[in-house]
Structure 1
Amino acid sequence: MTHALVLQGVEKRFGATQVVCGVDLAIEAGERHALIGPNGAGKSTLFQLIAGALAPSAGRIALNGRDITGRAPYAISRLGLARSFQTTSVFPRLNACDNLRCAALSAEPRGARWRHLLLGSRAVDERARSVLEAVGLAACGDTLAGALSYAQQRALDLGMALASGAHTLLLDEPTAGMSRDEAREALALIRVATAGKTVVMVEHDMDAVFGLADRISVLVGGRIIATGTPDAIRANSAVRAAYLGPETLR
């Protein structure tokens, strides 16, 4: 079995406060895995530990078998991990295609000479155009990112992760701030555009979680109290008592 991401005994303390408490988690390559839990459960902190924005106080994190514990975010990114944030991180004064060109450039070898990395280079341009189509923005390539709708900016955010060549994607509340119809379209886009890639998602919309995830982990008080298929999580009495509640499971 190939694991895209493995966490072993991961902890994070801020002074005397322990936010993440000995998390063990193994996510298979190509899996769509949702991380859910109440506010303050440690989900965002765990994402920051995986992406390198924070260093763990204890434990080990591996990406495709390579130890990334405590590595800088740029070094982890170069190993094939990309993260989207709760708010969009596009460049508003660049058009959509140029945003994707920037992301594609980040995937180029570090030793490549700048004359081979010009924005107009054929390989970069082709990748950007391909991703534009994959995320449903083929008609918006020349539109300034800041002029796109919120849902389109979120799609562009996803496109930048894809254009970087990442094989593992951390998606932080990808449907936050969207209407029900927009969220439904965003989920359909994620399902198609990330085919074959590993997706780890933090999300509060339970329809999105149960509609997309292959497996779900529930984090409460910095600890994972359950991991399983959507059906198993729905039926778990401890999860129901700690987070979901009876109404969510109907």
Structure 2
Amino acid sequence: MTHALVLSGVEKRFGATQVLYGVDLSIETGERHALIGPNGAGKSTLFNLIAGALRPSAGRIELNGANITGRAPYAISRHGLARSFQTTSVFPRLTAFDNLRCAALSGAPRGARWRNLLAGSRAIDERARGVLEAVGLAACEHRLAGALSYAQQRALDLGMALASGAHTLLLDEPTAGMSRDEARDALALIRATTAGKTLLMVEHDMEAVFGLADRISVLVRGRIIATGTPDAIRADAAVREAYLGPAAAR
């Protein structure tokens, strides 16, 4: 069994306040894994540690066997990890196509000279157009990203992660702010475009979680209290108690 992402004893403190306590988590290569938990559980903090926006107070994080603990976001990205945020992170004054070209350029081999990048611009353009079509935005190629609808911007955000060539994707609430129909379309898009990639997703929409994830981990007050298949998580008394209170667990 190979693992794309392994967290061992990860902790995070902000001064005297401890947010994460000895988090252990292993995600298999090609797995779709959801991280759920009540508000304030530490999910965003854990994402920030994996992506390099924060440094852990203790523990180790590995990406495809490489130690990425405390490394800068750009260095982690070069190891094949891409992240989307709760709010869209597109470049609003660039076209949809140019947003994807930027992402494709970011995935160019480390140390590549600019003249080599320019010589390969046709391949960059082809990758960008391929992703543009895959995420359903081919008709919006020349539109400014800032003029796209919210759902289209979320699709473009996913496209930027895909265009980078990353093998491991962190998706932070990919359906947040969407209508039920938009969320359903977004999930279908994620399912279709991330085939073969490793996916770790934070999501509050339980229909989305149980419909997409191969396994689910539940984070409560900074600790993983359960990891398992959707059916196992549904049946877990500790999970029901965390979400609904002691009476529900009984």
Q: TM-score, normalised by structure 1?
A: 0.96
- Equivalent position amino acid for 1:150 in 2: Y
Shift of 1:111: 2.2
Partner secondary structure for residue 11 of structure 1: strand
Contact 1:90 1:145 (C-alpha < 8 Å) held by counterparts:
yes
Shift >6 Å, 4+ stretches? none
Shift of 1:15: 1.1
* Residue matched to 2:135: 135
Judged with a 3 Å threshold, the aligned counterparts in structure 2 of structure 1 residues 244 and 171 are, in CA distance, closer, same or farther, namely farther
Task: Give % identity.
Answer: 86
Per-residue deviation, residues 11-55 of structure 1 (Å, max 9, x unmatched): 001111110100001000000000000110000000000001111
Partner secondary structure for residue 117 of structure 1: helix
Per-residue deviation, residues 95-131 of structure 1 (Å, max 9, x unmatched): 1000000000001123222233349810100000010
* Residue matched to 1:157: 157
- Equivalent position amino acid for 1:82 in 2: A
Q: How many residues align?
A: 248
Partners of 1:136 and 1:179 lie apart in 2 by: 18
Partners of 2:44 and 2:190 lie apart in 1 by: 20
Contact 2:78 2:110 (C-alpha < 8 Å) held by counterparts:
no
Judged with a 3 Å threshold, the aligned counterparts in structure 2 of structure 1 residues 211 and 245 are, in CA distance, closer, same or farther, namely farther
* Residue matched to 1:21: 21
Contact 1:171 1:200 (C-alpha < 8 Å) held by counterparts:
yes
Shift of 1:243: 1.5
Partner secondary structure for residue 207 of structure 2: helix
* Residue matched to 2:107: 107
* Residue matched to 1:81: 81
- Worse-matched range after superposition: 109-118 or 7-16: 109-118
* Residue matched to 2:195: 195
Partners of 2:118 and 2:92 lie apart in 1 by: 20
Partners of 1:107 and 1:4 lie apart in 2 by: 18
User: Alignment RMSD, CA only?
Assistant: 1.6
- Equivalent position amino acid for 2:98 in 1: D
Instruction: Indicate yes or no: 2:64 matched with 1:64.
Output: yes
Per-residue deviation, residues 146-173 of structure 1 (Å, max 9, x unmatched): 1111000000000000000100000000
Partners of 2:110 and 2:32 lie apart in 1 by: 30
Mark the runs of 5 or more structure 2 residues left unpaired by the alignment: none
Per-residue deviation, residues 148-200 of structure 1 (Å, max 9, x unmatched): 11000000000000000100000000000000000000000000000000000
Q: How does 1:206-221 map to 2 (within 5 A)?
A: 206-221=206-221
- Equivalent position amino acid for 2:142 in 1: D
- Worse-matched range after superposition: 102-111 or 204-213: 102-111
Per-residue deviation, residues 31-80 of structure 1 (Å, max 9, x unmatched): 00000001100000000000011111101000001110111110000000
Contact 1:119 1:125 (C-alpha < 8 Å) held by counterparts:
no
Contact 2:33 2:201 (C-alpha < 8 Å) held by counterparts:
yes
* Residue matched to 1:167: 167
Partner secondary structure for residue 110 of structure 2: coil
Judged with a 3 Å threshold, the aligned counterparts in structure 2 of structure 1 residues 119 and 208 are, in CA distance, closer, same or farther, namely farther
Partner secondary structure for residue 209 of structure 1: helix
Mark the runs of 5 or more structure 1 residues left unpaired by the alignment: none
